[in-house]
Amino acid sequence: MIPLLCWLERASECNGVLMTMRLPFLLAVLLVNSLWINSVTANPLVTVVMAGENFQLEYVADPESRRQGLMGRDSLESNAGMLFDFPEGTQPQIWMRNMHISLDLLFVDNRGQVVDIYQQVPPCSRMPCPVYSASRPLRFVIEVPSGTVDNLGLIKGMHLVMPDIAQQSAPSY
């Protein structure tokens, strides 16, 4: 107990061995913390052009990131959102559990054509939550702030420009 108190409260009175142990411990804590923060918050950004407007979307392609999605977010910038990339042959389904904001959902095929649209989808307040499904297998789902579809005049059949990911293969898992 005394070495712990010495380490926490009276560092100047501690012996040299304990002092040399403090720095590596603190550095390790900072490193682990920064890795955890980056793994939780840092999704790569991709540009998608919708009706002439550039959107910076967080790109998620692995199962855990797709499951997390935008859950827990309290706000979303007007030209921001998330792009979910699914394996070939997937017929994606989205629900709004643990969401705090309403969204517009766009289901998009591998060529960038909008196949299905769900507008002003509210957060789910209690189970069972509604499920929003693609009408056929496709590759992408885009979540943007509620009202984006109306503001841009987006409709089924429109083509979105996705230069950052158009040439990439679909995820395999």
pLDDT in tens, 126-139: 999 999 999 999 99
Q: What is the pLDDT of residues 40-94, one digit of tens each?
A: 457 999 999 999 999 999 999 999 999 999 998 999 999 999 999 999 999 999 9
SS3 144: strand
- CATH superfamily, domain at 45-152: Protein of unknown function DUF192 (2.60.120.1140)
- Sorting pLDDT into bands at 50, 70 and 90, what band is 164? confident
Give how far Cα 57 sits from Cα of 17, 44, 109, 141, Å: 50, 8, 17, 11
pTM of the predicted model as reported, rounded to 2 decimal places: 0.75
Distance CA 171, CA 82 (A): 16
